[in-house]
Amino acid sequence: MNKKRWYILGPVLLMVLIVFDQLTKYLARQNLADGDFKIIDGFFSFRYVTNKGAAWGMLQGKVDILSIVSILLVGAVCYFYIKTPEDKKFNKMRFLSVCVVAGAFGNLIDRIFMGEVTDFLYFELIDFPIFNVADIYITVAMFVFIFLMLFYYKDDDLDFISFKKKTSKEPNKEEKKENKEEN
């Protein structure tokens, strides 16, 4: 899929993910106020809580700072999305970028309009901190992104991320290909 298609698909996918996140939070606020909903007793349940901080309750009450950080994160990821090369092997990065932005926006919407983030997914078995769908988008996307960086992409595949201008006279991939064809 070429880059132009991703400029259409990316925003559409972004909106779908944000709407799904907001819908699940709305349903949690409407249906879980009276108590937990057990999915697998002793293992997993829906439990409505609000969080005025970041992940795992860090930075409680710092909604303004977290909102600014979210906006900066979204800006950085959008820049990354735009700079990503057209090669189809980078479609994974584009998809992961959309997931990170959707998660950041999903929680930013909560912070701006309610002053807190709605969380409702709870793994009772391990007493894991309660989280939401936006958190899943960000966490899973970042784990996959790290995996790809370590095992899929090569160092020179990621040259587009660098802010440095290339100063070496070493030919790039296209120039190397042209040189081989000439010889």
Indicate which residues carry an active-site annotation: 119, 135
Longest pairwise C-alpha distance within the chain: 75
Angle at 106 between CA 45 and CA 132, to 5 degrees: 15
Residue 87 burial by Cβ neighbours in a 10 Å radius (0-12, 13-18, 19+) = exposed
Alpha carbon separation from 181 to 66, 167, 170, 174 (Å, rounded): 53, 25, 17, 11
